[in-house]
Amino acid sequence: MALEARIHTTPKLEVAPPNALIDERVSIRVLGLEPDQTVVLRARMRDDVERDWSSSVTFRADATGAVDVSVQPALSGTYQGIDQMGLLWSMAGQFDDGKGLPSFMKTPLTTTVTAEVGGEVVASATLERTHLAPGVRVFLVREQGLVGTLFRPDSDGPRPAIIVLGGSEGGLSELPAALLASHGYAALALGYFGIEGLPRDHVGIPLEYLETAMGWLQAQEGVASDRLAVMGGSRGGELALLLGATFPQIKAVVGVSPIGVMIPGFRRGFVGLVGMVMRRPPGWTYRGAPLPCWVPFKLSFSSIVSYVWKTLARAPIALTPFWLEAMKDKDALERAAIPAERINGPVLLLSGQDDQFCPSGPLSEVAMERLAGQKHPYPYEHVSYPGAGHVFGLPPYLPATLTKARHPQTGAVYLTGGNPKDNAFAAVDSWARILRFLEESFGRPG
């Protein structure tokens, strides 16, 4: 009588490469399971503000006792179907914890992945991600009145340069700048308000400050002064379009969830948005004069009361309906439209069709119509993503689950829109388009 011997193996979890750039795809596999065995994969991460993020997905092992997330579908969990990076982008955090917007600048950004069978952890692995490729140098910029961080590859040859601008949250947008440098560009994350050394409020920001930053960046070692781009998100996208339309030394413009018209400034505090409507302070000035602005809200007494009540109660507010109502005044919109047709180079705009913070798709079309109407001699494109919200433009493979957020300047909680799956797709596709756009505009860096 023949006896059958069964060899039991210890499950092993593989994450490769274990050290990667944030925008780099990684492989996640479990080996040594029983054939057809059910396994739960969990990912856990802590960001810069000490907020915990986690995801959980159930798989069934194949006939060899293996799970490969790049080819096998999730049975249930925080994402569905086949998605190699789903375990990472589907991580969710607690957004009503008062910690503000998420930040993923820590290096390394450590994610622990575990495999559980029957409620017990049978294998684990660690993934360490960074925003800085080897050789990228980091310089704090605190001169000529500028506040920023320069990321520059440490290599021979002049590099195209990019000024990276954040939105109405203020401060610095360092993560995309760091990753752009990791792809070969000299990138300056530039603040223009809401950080020490700069105005506290977004009111009357002089474009000359940005002009100074351009000249400073063009003069830096290793920078190709004739290949300068500007990239911004939300109000930073408004500013990117405005700078491109004002200063011919800018040769390419990227706007993520941008605003194609100039809107008023605002002051810090929960009534800042109401003040934007009632007082209409200028957002920008040039040569000592305020630039025209279009007020995106027509608030009634009842809507003001509702806004203040929701702000105090931290109930999420969708602003897009207010914008869309105000956009019916075509003459007022046109008077403050950014003259995008003056931009001295190609333009790429990216928006989400479910943006609940502002209608960035229709507002991008304001710029597109001007470019088309004047037969802009350079390439221009607007890509609008179905199901994506206002906040999809982080580099890919970070959590795409942010659909509402407490604004760090006003204190109100706003709906940003979108759903995690479509936000994740938009992040991947838009980042690839940005890198391709820059290469087509300036050639391969380095």
CA distance 42 to 25: 18
Q: Which domain holds residue 304?
A: 136-442
| Residue 2, domain member (yes or no) | no
Of 100, 130, 160, the residue that ends a domain is 130
pLDDT in tens, 280-308: 789 999 999 999 998 877 766 676 677 77
Residue 433 burial (CB count, 10 A) = 15
Of 81, 108, 130, the residue that ends a domain is 130
Same domain, 17 and 80: yes
Q: Look up the pTM and report it.
A: 0.93
Instruction: Give me the helices (H) in 247-300, please.
Output: 272-279
The residue to which tokens 């809107």 are assigned = 263
Same domain, 123 and 142: no
Residue 197 burial (CB count, 10 A) = 9
User: What is residue 10's predicted lDDT score, i.e. its pLDDT?
Assistant: 92
CA distance 350 to 392: 10
Same domain, 116 and 161: no
Q: What's 242's domain CATH number? A: 3.40.50.1820
Mean of the per-residue pLDDT values of the chain: 92
Same domain, 155 and 299: yes
Same domain, 21 and 150: no
Of 82, 109, 130, the residue that ends a domain is 130
Q: Greater confidence, 133 or 50? A: 133
Same domain, 350 and 383: yes
CA distance 434 to 18: 26
Same domain, 119 and 161: no
| Residue 392, domain member (yes or no) | yes
Q: What is the pLDDT averaged over residues 219-240?
A: 97
Same domain, 37 and 180: no
pLDDT in tens, 88-122: 999 998 766 556 678 898 889 999 999 999 999 99
Same domain, 238 and 296: yes
Number of domains into which the chain is organized:
2
| Residue 121, domain member (yes or no) | yes
pLDDT over 50 at 171, yes or no: yes
Same domain, 25 and 90: yes
Q: What's 73's domain CATH number? A: 2.60.40.2240
pLDDT in tens, 11-41: 999 999 999 999 999 999 999 999 999 999 9
Q: Residues with Cβ < 8 Å from 118, sequence gap 6 or more?
A: none
CA distance 400 to 422: 8
The dihedral sign for the CA sequence 363, 367, 373, 379: negative
DSSP 395: P
Point out which residues pair with 39 in neighbouring strands.
59
CB 416 within 8 A of CB 403: yes
pLDDT in tens, 198-221: 999 999 999 999 999 999 999 999
> 440 to each of 223, 227, 435, how far by Cα in Å?
18, 12, 9
The residue ranges of DSSP E strands in 342-410, in sequence order, are 347-352, 380-385, 404-406
Name the residue type at position 183: H
Same domain, 185 and 104: no
> 237 to each of 43, 122, 214, 253, 256, how far by Cα in Å?
33, 47, 16, 9, 6
Same domain, 278 and 410: yes
Please list, residue by residue across 104-134, b when 16 or more beta carbons sit within 10 angstroms of its beta carbon and e when fewer do.
beeeebebebbbbbeeeebbebebebbbbbe
